[in-house]
Amino acid sequence: MKGALIIGGGPAGLMAADMISAAGHPVVVAEAKPSVARKFLMAGKSGLNLTKDEPFAPFLANFSEAAPQLRPMLEAFGPQDAIAWAEALGQEMFTGSSGRVFPKVMKASPLLRNWLARLATQGVEIRTRHRWVGPQDGYVFEAPQGEVTFHPEVVVLACGGASWARLGSDGAWAGFAGLPVAPFQPANMGFEIDWSQHMAKHFGAPVKSVALLAGDQRVRGEFVISESGIEGGGIYAVSKALREGAELTLDLVPDLSPDGVRARLAKPRGKASLSNYLRKTLKLDAVKQALLMEFGRPLPDDLATLVKSLPVGMKGPKPIDQAISTAGGLQFDALDDALMVRDRPGVFAAGEMLDWEAPTGGYLLTGCLATGRWAGLSAAKRLQQE
C-alpha cells in the first residue's frame, strides 16, 4: 500500500495520522476495537484533563527517567501547544486552580468528534476490528473479513501499554513484535489493603486535605477508600515510589506544624470522647479518625507524631489491568531521535507503548500527543524523501 499504516487508534496514533495526512500522504489507521480512542473517551468521563499549565521545567520533571528522551517532543508540543490544538478543534478550554486544563464542556466526545471529522477531510481511512497479530511478511491483522496483510511504505506503531485491556491496551504486541521491551508494570494505580471490619462504613469515602509521603516525595492531595484498598489522584502521584518499595505515610493535618498539633492536643479533654476531642482540636473528620485507629492502634502517648506521620500498611499495587497507565514498554535505546526503530527503517513508535510513565494530571495525554506528533512528522518526512 502507498503511504502510512498506523497501528492503534488512540491519541498517539490519531495524532500521527493527522500529521502524515496533513502532509498529503495516504493513511490507514488499524484499530483492534470496534471504535477508536476508547481510553481517551474514558478519561473524558472525569473531565478530560488534557494537560497541565505550568512552566516547562517542572512539567518535564514529571516524566522522570524518560525526560531526556521526551524533552524535544515536549518542547515542540507542550502544554500551551496542547491547549491551542484543542481550541483549533473548536473546544473552549479552561485552567483550574491546580493548573489542570480541561475543555469547558468537561468531556472528550466533542473534541474527538471534531478531530475525526478533520482526519476524514484529510483522507484518513480508519479500519476498526483490525487486530495486529504479527509483522511477518508484512503486517498481518485479524479482521472481520478474515486475515488481512498490509505492505505499507512507513508504519507508526501506537499500540498502547498494558492496562485497561477492555479498552484496547493489553500489551499483546510485546509478545510477537520482536522488539526490545522493558517489562510492563502498573502505573497510576491504587494499592490493596486488608481493612479491618470497622472500616467498611467508610468504603467509597474521600480522604481530603492530607499530605502523602513516599520516599523523598511529599504531595498534597486526596484519595478514596475502596473495599479493596486506596486509590485516587493523591495515591497516583506517589505510586511510582510506592511501587519501587517506598513506605506510605500520611500527614493528616498538613497545615499544622508538629508543635502546633502538640499545642492543640495539650488542651484538656474533659469528659469529651476521644472522637469529639480530635474533631474539635484538630478538625479530624470521621474518615481521618478511622485511618488513625486502623493504622495507629494502640495509640501512643505522642499522638502528635502519629497524626503528622501515620504509616499506612499496604499489601501491594492493584493488578496492572486496573491501573490507569503502565511503566515499561519499547525501550528508547531501540529508537533513533526520530522515534524510528533503528533496525527497522520506516517503522516508528509513539505513545504509551514506549518505556515512559508520568502521573495523571494532564501529563499522560500530553505525552501521548507529543510523541504521536513527533513520530507522524518523522514518518511524513521519510515519505517525502522517498
Report pLDDT digits (tens) over 226-279. Answer: 999 999 999 999 999 999 999 999 999 999 999 999 999 999 999 999 999 999
Could you read off the pLDDT of 170-190 as tens digits, one per residue?
999 999 999 999 999 999 999
Could you read off the pLDDT of 122-133 as tens digits, one per residue?
999 999 999 999
Neighbours of 95 (CB within 10 A): 15
How large is the average pLDDT for residues 377-381? Answer: 98
CATH number belonging to the domain at 4-186+321-385, selected among 3.50.50.60, 3.40.50.10490, 3.40.50.1110, 3.40.50.300: 3.50.50.60
Could you read off the pLDDT of 4-25 as tens digits, one per residue?
999 999 999 999 999 999 999 9
How large is the average pLDDT for residues 326-338? Answer: 98
Q: What is the pLDDT of residue 46?
A: 82
Is the pLDDT at 45 greater than 90? The verdict is no
Q: What is the pLDDT of residue 178?
A: 93
Could you read off the pLDDT of 354-376 as tens digits, one per residue?
999 999 999 999 999 999 999 99
Please, which pLDDT band fits residue 157 given cuts at 50, 70 and 90? very high
How large is the average pLDDT for residues 192-217? Answer: 97
The length of the chain, given as a count of residues: 386
Could you read off the pLDDT of 277-296 as tens digits, one per residue?
999 999 999 999 999 999 99
Is the pLDDT at 135 greater than 90? The verdict is no
How large is the average pLDDT for residues 310-337? Answer: 96
- List the domain boundaries for the chain: 4-186+321-385, 191-317
Q: What is the pLDDT of residue 137?
A: 83
The 3-state secondary structure of the chain reads: CCCEEEECCCHHHHHHHHHHHHCCCCEEEECCCCCCCHHHHHHHCCCCCCEECCCHHHHHHCCHHHHHHHHHHHHHCCHHHHHHHHHHCCCCEEECCCCEEEECCCCCHHHHHHHHHHHHHCCCEEECCCEEEECCCCEEEEECCEEEEECCCEEEECCCCCCCHHHCCCCHHHHCCCCCEEEEEEECCCEECCCCHHHHHHCCCEEEEEEEEECCEEEEEEEEEECCEEECHHHHHCHHHHHCCCCEEEECCCCCCHHHHHHHHCCCCCCCCHHHHHHHHHCCCHHHHHHHHHHHCCCCCCHHHHHHCEEECCCEECCHHHCCEEEEEECHHHECCCCEECCCCCEEECHHHECCCCCCCCHHHHHHHHHHHHHHHHHHHHHHHC
Please, which pLDDT band fits residue 134 given cuts at 50, 70 and 90? confident
How large is the average pLDDT for residues 292-308? Answer: 94
Q: What is the pLDDT of residue 206?
A: 97
Q: What is the pLDDT of residue 386?
A: 80
Please, which pLDDT band fits residue 167 given cuts at 50, 70 and 90? very high
Please, which pLDDT band fits residue 43 given cuts at 50, 70 and 90? confident
Is the pLDDT at 88 greater than 90? The verdict is yes
Is the pLDDT at 87 greater than 80? The verdict is yes
